[in-house]
Amino acid sequence: MQDQQRDDWPTADALGLTQFLHHIVVDSTMDEVHRLAALGAPAGLLVIADRQSNGRGRAGRSWTSQPEAGVWMTLLERPSDATASGVLALRLGMGIAKALAPFVEGEVFLKWPNDVYVDNGKLAGILVEARWRDAALEWVAIGVGLNMRVPTEYVGARAVRANVTRSMLLRALVPAMRDASRHAGVLTDGEMEEWRTRDLAWGRRVILPTVGIARGIAADGALLVQESASNVLTTVRAGSLVFAAQ
């Protein structure tokens, strides 16, 4: 079910989009973008929903998305450089963190590989799904779930300030997301340093996906973990980051 864009929402042109679709309810904005991409939709299509009945996050986890409790959206991009797809979630995180900083109380951090935090509470999640034809990257669907109020079932989560609207957030987030998707290649030294300034894990002991002390990320987006008894760095490219109990 789709309604008209709200009068106070920015237009597709104002956001630098080719198309902006708003749904009252949809199973998943991610699945809807994949469906439209397969039908030939161009890069720059954004699907946003007031509520998702089957929203999902990384590794197939469900994502709570109640009516107007947050921003639930997915952006379609068709990157020309497939090598950048492996670090896209990290680039998106940096851009989104910078864009959200004016709308929160507290400091914005990033948790490898795809979460945005305010202080020690999760504010937003990023999900990037690529579709390939043989060795060619056809498109990526970039999903963002952002709390506008703290979900009661997730103690310690964070949200943007009470006076912030979805229109305000879209104007800040969408250009940052589009810019991140245009970058080519692996992370630069400057980008890795930028990540370091917001790295929630830096210097903390982790127990998953391996045990040791978190020491940032590599240019290809891998997590670097120092073995506790040595200076050897373990490179981790998949999994969820879990901190040791304080």
Q: CB count, 10 Å around CB of 88? A: 22
Cβ atoms of 96 and 185 within 8 Å: the answer is: no
> What digits encode the pLDDT tens for the residues 175-224?
999 999 999 999 999 999 999 999 999 999 999 999 999 999 999 999 99
pLDDT for res 8:
79
**Is the pLDDT score of 1 beyond 90?**
no
pTM: 0.92
Residues 196, 201, 204: CA angle, nearest 5 degrees: 120
Give CA–CA dist 220/84, Å, rounded: 9
Q: Taking all residues of the chain, what is their mean pLDDT, rounded to a whole number?
A: 91
- When mean pLDDT is compared across 117-121, 230-234, 237-241, the lowest value belongs to 230-234
Contacts of 34 (CB under 8 A, 6+ apart): 129, 131, 141
CA quadruple 125, 33, 131, 140: dihedral, nearest 10 = -50
Cβ atoms of 146 and 57 within 8 Å: the answer is: no
**Is the pLDDT score of 245 beyond 50?**
yes
Phi and psi at 171, nearest 5°, equal: -60, -30
Provide the residue type at 119 as one letter: D
Q: Is 81 exposed, middle or buried (0-12, 13-18, 19+ CB in 10 A)?
A: exposed
> What digits encode the pLDDT tens for the residues 69-122?
899 999 999 999 999 999 999 999 999 999 999 999 999 999 999 999 999 999
Strands 136-147 and 70-77: antiparallel
- Ordered domains of the chain (ranges, CATH): 12-190 (3.30.930.10), 201-243 (2.30.30)
> What digits encode the pLDDT tens for the residues 119-160?
999 999 999 999 999 989 999 999 999 999 998 777 789 999
pLDDT for res 242:
95
Give CA–CA dist 169/151, Å, rounded: 18
Cβ atoms of 134 and 128 within 8 Å: the answer is: no
Cβ atoms of 143 and 71 within 8 Å: the answer is: no
Continuous segment of H or E residues that includes residue 34: helix 29-38
